[in-house]
Amino acid sequence: MNQFHILENRFPGRRAALKRDILEQALYCFIELGVEATTIDAIKARCETSVGAIYHHFGNKEGILSALFFAAQDDQRQHLDQELANTNSLREAVYSVICSYLDWVVANPEWARFLYQARSAVAKGPFQEELKDRNAKGFRELKAKLLGFGNESNSIVQPFEIVISLIVGPSENYCKAWLAGRVQTSPRDYREEFAESAWRSLQR
Amino acid sequence: MNQFHILENRFPGRRAALKRDILEQALYCFIELGVEATTIDAIKARCETSVGAIYHHFGNKEGILSALFFAAQDDQRQHLDQELANTNSLREAVYSVICSYLDWVVANPEWARFLYQARSAVAKGPFQEELKDRNAKGFRELKAKLLGFGNESNSIVQPFEIVISLIVGPSENYCKAWLAGRVQTSPRDYREEFAESAWRSLQR
DNA sequence: TTCGGTAAAAGAAGATTATTCTGTTTTTGC
DNA sequence: GCAAAAACAGAATAATCTTCTTTTACCGAA
């Protein structure tokens, strides 16, 4: 299972072979050169195809970027949902959110780096509505799950608006630092610290 | 005191008038249209100057971006240093870091939005070394301050690598959400919650 | 005040790159 | 096997960053 299983899962079949290849080489370029600095020509050269084929499949550069972005985001969310499905208490749920996040980043560092880099571009581009809808949906579902543990949810004494920030803020911040090389220790090594800190920060 | 006092402080005098104006109009464009979408032509049009003048002063688009970015970052850090100077305990220091951050973002929302947007571009561009040096210096100074409270510093029971993430992670995450319009309540209203949560997350 | 040098400013020309468009080949459904 | 649709190719276009040359303004020293 290489780092491109995400694409194979999401664009399966023989018909989509070139489409997958374009995305694969584009991701490589985005990571290697940065989103802004990769040219259509560079992608074209790497998969030995034509600009026509690229524009036929994706419309424009944003189209490639967004397809990659949503594929990665879907995979990350799928991973979260799997972890979250087995939880039976609020505390377990909080732990799941943190751990699935840290695990996914460590398992897919290139994709994670790309997600961080591409977010702002997608948020402004032609797919901004789709991004908003997806984020809103994810937020809604997570909120429902966290508040769905009956009485126990009273242990969240913070205004819910800031709960998500309290839970994922530190992990996200550390993962970015790790992907940028500013810290060396794998985020996985701090699973307990981040999860326990998040849990306690929800209480008073 | 308008939102451009930051530029007036940092590029004073009559000789720098056009330089300031270019930066001002560029910031307006970056905020309005996004960093990527603003063209040299758009900036040129807004300050009624020539491409020659712009390139004379800043070399290239990155030059404008970096000058703005560093000006904002300096102002933010200056604000932090002021707050931090008066602290006499670890707890006070942690509170200062959080509150000065939240206050600055609320006082300068356009600059804050710009800082978030421009960071990745500066981190890849020709000023990446300067950015690294600045960040390293800031990190070093903050670490020294936090660990400089003698015995009391033992109340930090977390590995120091993750301490910064625990302190500013949630605030940063919430501020981004606020600037993007995903939440409505001003970060200032949650000063206590973020500061208190951060303080407790450092202990065990 | 004038002179010479340096900085500032203008704008045309060049180079790069995203995108469009037209034509050709391949695949698919019948 | 055939028409229609999709896939693909690549030249032409348009937008935009950057460079280069020329002109203008400023400023200290003779």
Query: Of all protein residues, which has its CA closest to the C1' atom of C18?
Result: A40
What's B136's domain CATH number? 1.10.357.10
- Which residue reads 């670890």 in tokens? B90
Pair of tokens at residue A199: 């849990």
Q: What per-residue confidence (pLDDT) applies to B116?
A: 95
Query: Of all protein residues, which has its CA closest to the C1' atom of C7?
Result: B56
Per-residue exposure over A65-104, b if at least 16 CB sit within 10 Å of its own CB, e if not: bbbbbbbbbebbbebbeebbeebeebbebbbbbbbbbbbb
One digit per residue, the tens of pLDDT, for chain A of length 204 reads 467 789 988 898 888 889 999 999 999 999 999 999 999 999 999 999 999 999 999 999 999 999 999 999 999 999 999 999 999 999 999 999 999 999 999 999 999 999 999 999 999 999 999 999 999 999 999 999 999 997 776 778 889 999 999 999 999 999 999 999 999 999 999 999 999 999 999 987
Provide, in whole angstroms, the distance separating residue A42's CA from nucleotide D18's C1'. Answer: 21
Segment B170-194, tens digit of pLDDT: 999 999 999 999 999 999 999 999 9
Residue B150, pLDDT above cutoff 80:
no
Q: What per-residue confidence (pLDDT) applies to A37?
A: 93
Full domain range(s) for residue B52: 5-202
Task: With beta carbons less than 8 A apart as the criterion, state whether A40 and A51 touch.
Answer: yes
Distance of residue A53 Cα from the nearest chain B Cα, in angstroms: 25
Q: What per-residue confidence (pLDDT) applies to B153?
A: 67
Q: What per-residue confidence (pLDDT) applies to B2?
A: 60
Confirm or reject contact between A201 and chain B (CB < 8 A): yes
Q: DSSP for B98-110, please give it.
A: HHHHHHHHHH-HH
Higher pLDDT, A139 or B6: A139
Mean of pLDDT values over B58-65: 95
Q: At what angle do helices A90-107 and A109-124 cross, to 10 degrees?
A: 100
Segment B68-102, tens digit of pLDDT: 999 999 999 999 999 999 999 999 999 999 999 99
In sequence order, which residues have a C-beta less than 8 Å from that of residue B126 and are 6 or more positions away? Answer: B62, B66
Task: With beta carbons less than 8 A apart as the criterion, state whether B172 and A173 touch.
Answer: yes
Q: Report the number of distinct structural domains present in chain A.
A: 1
Pair of tokens at residue A127: 């797919």
With CB atoms and an 8 Å threshold, state whether B36 touches A124. yes
Q: What per-residue confidence (pLDDT) applies to A156?
A: 83
> Is strand C less than 7 A from the beta carbon of A40?
yes
In sequence order, which residues have a C-beta less than 8 Å from that of residue B66 and are 6 or more positions away? Answer: B122, B125, B126, B127, B130
